[in-house]
Structure 1
Amino acid sequence: MFPLNAWYAAAWDTEVGRTLLPRTVCDRPLVLYRTTSGKAVALADACWHCADPRLDAAAASAAVSNRW
């Protein structure tokens, strides 16, 4: 069990780019990427429509698009 009300380093700034970067933090799968404006984003690695991992999805503009 991990304290969830804390900050955890998930990647170095140079590791996060426009392609999806899967990471596990506190036993929770995440996907990291940068928007077209360069803002870093972390999302749960899950597609809420079909409950599958997002690892095969593509980053598109400011949001991660579903594989469908």
Structure 2
Amino acid sequence: VQSIEYDCDIAKVSIVGVGMKSHSGVASIAFKALAKENINIMMIGTSEIKISMIVNIKYAELAVRTLHDVYALDK
């Protein structure tokens, strides 16, 4: 390897739950909520039970709070 590039200014925010297998629209809700807050998603990774998004680190806390609110995780 001649060169390795990295970015310290990113964060991974994930939504995890086995219910995603049977509920459609989970990703759409997350993407719309983050877009409403003007949070750019740089990269998306998915599995059967998880959606992970890479965002700028300065928006990481806002992204987590936004997703927490949109999925009503405090109830």
Shared fold per TM-score greater than 0.5:
no
Please report the TM-score for the alignment, with normalisation by the length of structure 1. 0.28
Larger Rg: 2
Q: Relative contact order, CA 8 A, sep 6+: which one is greater?
A: 2
**Larger helix percent:** 2
Higher strand share: 1
